[in-house]
A and B are shown apart, each in its own frame.
Chain A
Amino acid sequence: MGVAAPGAATAPVALRPQRASEGLSARMWRRFVRNRLALISLWLLVAITLAVAVWPLFLGSPEAIDTPNALKDPTPQHLLGTDELGRDTLTRLLHAGRISLVVGFMAMAISILVGSLVGGIAGYFGGTADTVLMRITDAMMSLPAIFLLLVILVVFGSGLVTVVVVIGVTSWMGAARVVRAEVLRFKNAEFVEAARAMGARPRRILAVHVFPNAVPSIIVTASLGVARAILTESALSYLGLGIQAPTPSLGNMLSNAQTYLWNAPLQALWPGLLILLIVLASNFLGDGLRDALDPQMA
């Protein structure tokens, strides 16, 4: 997946002797800042998060119906127009954006947690545990998760919590591989040997000595994971299996809009545009972070 982002050249940094005392995180930050695309993405994500968190406080309910004004084009009262029930599209879009970000972050958190456990155990203990866990990981990775998601959501019903959990538990495989690789890299390092010699137990070694070193790689995985989770949520909601009406989500707004394409095509534009912006920014951010953390891959 290694893709060089523009401006990620890093060689001169290491050559400047006066920077030698600079901390690792400061060096990473400077490399990151140099990647303009990733920096713009970071600010874009901050701006979107602030907008969906604060702006709705000044707007009405996203479920307020006003049928005489259905499917209107943008006006000063309705900056992005209205949907088929006359509900304000901007208000609904912001609320939907909120839900998407919440789902994206929470599902990512679950997948990182599960992935770290699986990868940590597999990497540290090795042997049979490693073989079995990584076989399961490979198998899950190679199957189209959406069919499993369909089954689970239909059986257990769909709501915010179910959607977050099922996306989380079907997307931890990438994190597991990353964490395992990091554990393998550090488990025989001298400082870990020292900790072991001093009688530290596996759980402490993993949590205190190995895991902090894996954090940079985990952040990269997490950033890409948010993008994936948001795409999955919106796809499920588009199919009618995710967030249910009348609660707005970017996916169910799009699937509503598709019914009225011939009357109000603009209504299909906004939700998709917001998904694209969030996902694109998370992906560029992830790539930028990867380049900043590991210049060899660029």
Chain B
Amino acid sequence: MLAYAVRRLGSALLAMFAVTVITFSIIQLAPGGPAILLDDRLTADDREQIRRNLGLDQPLPVQYYLWSSALVQGDLGDSYLQREPVSDLIARAFPNTLLLAGVSLALAILIGIPLGIFAAARVNSSWDYGSTFFSVVGISIPSFWLGILMIILFSVNLRVLPSAGMYTLGGDRGLADLSTHIVMPAIVMALAPLATVVRYTRSSMLGVIRNEYIPTARAKGLAERVILYRHALKNALVPVVTVIGLQLPVFLGGSVIVEKIFAWPGMGRLAVDAAFGRDYPVVMGVTVVVTLMVVVANFLTDLLYGFLDPRIRWA
């Protein structure tokens, strides 16, 4: 188990390194540098001064070294546009994204797994076809369109849910207010991963049911319900765990779109706004933090998978 963990940790660190180098290089290739330098009112001397202050006059490997050694100490630099450390901006946005992603993940698991089992238990019935059809629709529907349709229905026509933000302006910022704001973004964000969880749970259950110990259990005269839930489900859920772990990038990627639709003040919106303003330290910071989260989650998923299924460790 230890060797397996070390191997996994190694590839996790490698992925981190690769992503920071790639992001850093792309940004250094940017024509014109940060948008701040494009201001017409600046003289050549001003530009030079700003460059020096931002450390842009150093050679690239030096810049990468300075940037990454600061990074290790939790220093992501200052935003070009907002006079604030990037880590502060991220610290404000991060919990909001985590909350949204957490609620969506819970929805995807709590609805997706039972639906997948249900479909597998009635394989080739119209329920089964219905859930298969639903899961293909779920991965095909553009999230921003679904979000807009929900806004039309619930905000414009029915006027029951707010269309944007996390809290009502001037409101009490209470739990009830937050709940009404999170309903639509969470549903939109959950749909694609939900569809994936249904597909995997169903096919995993069907795969397990073919194993010899299922007819054995049946031959012992056990009730179908016991066979399904006690014998089949336990093994069927092992690969589903991995799939859920692999959904994390989908969630974080989805946050970019969902947070834009519903003006949710999280990491995705921070990244998009910074991208438009060519505020590179913020873009870099968000990318690095998101990557770190994904890498850590994948590592934990791998460990969990290795723990649940001993065969993996020796592969």
C-alpha spacing A53/B283, complex, angstroms: 39
In A247-297, the 8 Å CB interface with B consists of 251, 254-255, 257-258, 261-262, 265, 268-269, 271-273, 275-276, 279-280, 283-284, 287
**Contact B275–A151 (Cβ < 8 Å):** yes
- Interface residue from B136, B141, B145 paired with A287 (Cβ < 8 Å): B136
Stretch at the interface among B17-25, B55-63, B87-95: B17-25
**Contact A283–B136 (Cβ < 8 Å):** yes
Chain B 239-268 per-residue mask, 1 if CB under 8 angstroms from chain A, else 0: 000000010011011001100110000000
Residue of chain B at shortest CB distance from A297:
B203
Q: Which A residues are in CB contact (< 8 Å) with B252?
A: 144, 147
A114: min CB distance to chain B, Å:
15
In A91-105, the 8 Å CB interface with B consists of none
Residue A150 lies at the interface, judged by CB distance under 8 Å to chain B: yes
B210: min CB distance to chain A, Å:
12
Interface centre among A138, A147, A283 (most CB of B within 10 A): A147
Given A135-B14, A147-B290, A148-B287: A235 and B276 interface contact (C-beta under 8 Å) = no
Residue B3 lies at the interface, judged by CB distance under 8 Å to chain A: no
In B49-104, the 8 Å CB interface with A consists of none
**Contact B253–A144 (Cβ < 8 Å):** yes
Q: Which A residues are in CB contact (< 8 Å) with B275?
A: 150-151, 153-154, 241
Number of interchain pairs (Cβ within 8 Å): 151
**Contact A150–B142 (Cβ < 8 Å):** no
Stretch at the interface among B147-155, B165-173, B230-238: B147-155
Residue of chain A at shortest CB distance from B284:
A151
Residue B180 lies at the interface, judged by CB distance under 8 Å to chain A: no
Chain B 285-302 per-residue mask, 1 if CB under 8 angstroms from chain A, else 0: 011001100110010000
**Contact A148–B140 (Cβ < 8 Å):** no
Stretch at the interface among B26-34, B183-191, B303-311: B26-34
C-alpha spacing A68/B284, complex, angstroms: 45
Residue B181 lies at the interface, judged by CB distance under 8 Å to chain A: no
Given A142-B294, A268-B148: A3 and B132 interface contact (C-beta under 8 Å) = yes
Residue B118 lies at the interface, judged by CB distance under 8 Å to chain A: no
Residue of chain A at shortest CB distance from B286:
A147
Given A150-B275, A239-B256: A234 and B136 interface contact (C-beta under 8 Å) = no
- Interface residue from B142, B256, B290 paired with A234 (Cβ < 8 Å): B142
**Contact B253–A145 (Cβ < 8 Å):** yes
Q: Which B residues are in CB contact (< 8 Å) with A272?
A: 142, 144-146, 148-149
Residue A186 lies at the interface, judged by CB distance under 8 Å to chain B: no
**Contact B140–A276 (Cβ < 8 Å):** yes
Residue of chain B at shortest CB distance from A287:
B136
Given A135-B14, A143-B294, A283-B140: A151 and B152 interface contact (C-beta under 8 Å) = no
B175: min CB distance to chain A, Å:
28
Residue B211 lies at the interface, judged by CB distance under 8 Å to chain A: no
Residue A85 lies at the interface, judged by CB distance under 8 Å to chain B: no
How many positions in chain B have a CB within 8 Å of any CB in the partner chain? 58
Q: Is the interface of A mostly helix, strand, loop or mixed?
A: helix
C-alpha spacing A231/B276, complex, angstroms: 21
**Contact B139–A238 (Cβ < 8 Å):** no
Given A144-B294, A268-B149: A284 and B271 interface contact (C-beta under 8 Å) = no
Residue B160 lies at the interface, judged by CB distance under 8 Å to chain A: no
Q: Which A residues are in CB contact (< 8 Å) with B298?
A: 142
Q: Which A residues are in CB contact (< 8 Å) with B151?
A: 258, 261
A152: min CB distance to chain B, Å:
6
Residue A71 lies at the interface, judged by CB distance under 8 Å to chain B: no
Q: Which B residues are in CB contact (< 8 Å) with A231?
A: 140, 142
C-alpha spacing A241/B253, complex, angstroms: 15
C-alpha spacing A143/B29, complex, angstroms: 22
Given A235-B142, A265-B152: A4 and B124 interface contact (C-beta under 8 Å) = yes
- Interface residue from B145, B203, B256 paired with A150 (Cβ < 8 Å): B256
Residue of chain A at shortest CB distance from B257:
A235
**Contact B145–A283 (Cβ < 8 Å):** no
Residue A2 lies at the interface, judged by CB distance under 8 Å to chain B: yes
**Contact B246–A2 (Cβ < 8 Å):** no
Residue A6 lies at the interface, judged by CB distance under 8 Å to chain B: yes
26 contacts between A and B (CB under 8 A): A3-B199, A3-B203, A4-B123, A139-B11, A139-B14, A144-B250, A144-B290, A144-B294, A145-B249, A150-B256, A150-B283, A227-B140, A235-B142, A238-B142, A258-B148, A261-B156, A265-B152, A268-B145, A268-B148, A269-B149, A272-B149, A276-B140, A280-B141, A283-B136, A283-B139, A284-B136
B residues sitting closer than 8 Å to A (CB atoms) are: 11, 14-15, 18-19, 22-23, 26-27, 29-31, 123-124, 129, 132, 135-137, 139-146, 148-149, 151-152, 156, 199-200, 202-203, 246, 249-250, 252-253, 256-257, 260-261, 271-272, 275-276, 278, 283, 286-287, 290-291, 294-295, 298
Top 9 nearest A-B pairs (CB, nearest first) are A272-B145, A144-B253, A139-B15, A144-B249, A279-B140, A280-B140, A146-B253, A155-B30, A154-B275
Given A143-B291, A276-B142, 15 more contacts at CB 8 Å?
Answer: A3-B132, A4-B124, A135-B14, A136-B18, A139-B14, A144-B253, A144-B290, A155-B30, A238-B144, A239-B257, A239-B260, A258-B261, A265-B156, A268-B152, A272-B149
